[in-house]
Amino acid sequence: MFIKNCKKYGQKQQPLAKLLQLAKLLFGTNTHYMGVIFLIFRDKFNIIIILATCLLIYSTSSCDRHGHAGEKNLENIKVEVNINRIENQIKNIKQKEDVAKFLDKNETFARIFLQKGVIPDSVVENSIWKISQSTYIDTLTRQTNHYFGDMADLKAQFEKAFKIIKLNYPEFTPPPIYTVVTGFENDVYVSDSLIVIGLDCFLGDKAHYRMRDVPNYIYRRYRKEYVVPSVMMFLSNKYNEVETDFRKKTLLNEMIYHGKTYYFMERVIPNVPDSLVIGYTGREVENCRFNQDIIWGHFVENNLFFDASLDKINRYIGERPFVGEIGDECPGRIGRWLGWQIVRKYMESNPTVTLPNLMKDMNAKVIFEKSNYKPLQQ
């Protein structure tokens, strides 16, 4: 765990302290349950058994620990999800005349994504023709079809997510979804009118083709299970209002903004692990959860929350393999993770606040103060 590499908070937690911390996560300050834990620990041989049991209970319950009863009854919410497999249509183009028919058939895709009407038609048509005749793209398309199959699982995930969004935002209309295989390293495009997923970017470690200049700690997010979370992250931008005055931009503003993004994601795609929401490994998520008091202490002692320097913001918000200021095993973007925990605590402490209320609230300082977030102590 990264705490043993921490420059200032270097004492590693003992198993008992870890377990008591986990008990607090499970039971809060309920003295009855905590008393049971202490009684059990009279026998030191029970430690491993109880720890394993607590982890099992926590992992089982964590999937729905942020669930909302109103979002479990979605049968009456009607949405239509169509996934248009553009890559297969392109693969079937045999003559140049077929390109124009393809573009006419997929007018929205051509106009918005391919910029037909902005870019000369001849340029757009020539690009599609070259892709359709490329043996390299043909091989990539076959590999993509094998990896993704009929995409029924992703369609079901999209349908549930769209229903929850519509429940919270009745005016929401799901954009049509198009999938492509181009080799151009276009991963996800999201607008009110269109969603485009570059499937060849999400082939994972087995891909014959790998995106260039993408480090491993980022590349691991480009797998099938990240497709829906990636789209939901971009969809949240429409609802996530943020302070636009750069003179008021602080690290806390960025933390809360990203925290709202992750909270939106966990609400609309419930029952997915935190690792798929934030793009950490499972181990990184657990390390952050168990060491949140150390993370918190670093931010407090270094007066980081209201720091407005771009350098500090990038250190704790931007992409990095790890945050060395805290520890060599502390994952990058740790400020986003901490902001997420603050937002979670804010919503837990203020149950009358709805998801739309949260997303349109730009006052990071008030959210921070009303969260009453206090990480677990040893």
Strands 83-85 and 195-198, bridge-based pairing: unpaired
Residues forming beta bridges with residue 159, ordered by sequence position: none
How far apart CA 370 and CA 332 sit, in angstroms, is 26
Report residue 302: phi and psi, to 5°.
-100, 10
Give the pLDDT of residue 94: 93
Give the pLDDT of residue 14: 44
Q: At what angle do helices 15-27 and 282-290 cross, to 10 degrees?
A: 90
Strand segments (E) across 115-199: 177-180, 188-190, 195-198
Tokens matching residue 118:
């902005």
Count CA atoms closer than 13 A to 377's CA, side-chain side. 4
How deeply is 82 buried, as exposed, middle or buried, from its count of CB atoms within 10 A (0-12, 13-18, 19+)? exposed
Give the pLDDT of residue 376: 64
- For the stretch 126-156, pLDDT in tens is 999 999 999 989 999 999 999 999 999 999 9
Domain parsing of the chain, residue ranges: 2-67, 83-224, 246-371
Q: What is the pTM of this model?
A: 0.83
Q: What is the DSSP letter of 192?
A: S
How far apart CA 182 and CA 185 sit, in angstroms, is 8
How far apart CA 315 and CA 151 sit, in angstroms, is 38
Tokens matching residue 94:
């045999």
Region of residue 213 (left: phi > 0; alpha: psi -120 to 50; beta: else): left
Give the pLDDT of residue 70: 52
Determine the 3-state secondary structure of 190 from DSSP: strand
How far apart CA 47 and CA 37 sit, in angstroms, is 10
Residues 6 or more apart from 203 whose CB is under 8 A from it?
A: 143, 144, 147, 209, 222, 223
How far apart CA 86 and CA 89 sit, in angstroms, is 5
The closest of 242, 245, 209 to 135, measured between CA atoms, is 209
pLDDT tens for the chain, 378 residues long, are 554 444 433 344 444 444 445 444 444 434 344 444 433 444 444 544 444 444 444 444 444 445 564 566 788 899 999 999 999 999 999 999 999 999 999 999 999 999 999 999 999 999 999 999 999 899 999 999 999 999 999 999 999 999 999 999 999 999 999 999 988 778 999 999 999 999 999 998 877 777 888 898 999 999 999 999 999 999 999 999 988 877 778 999 999 999 999 999 999 999 999 999 999 999 999 999 999 999 999 999 999 999 999 999 999 999 999 999 999 999 999 999 999 999 999 999 999 999 999 999 999 999 999 999 988 643
In the chain the first and final C-alpha atoms are separated, in Å, by: 15
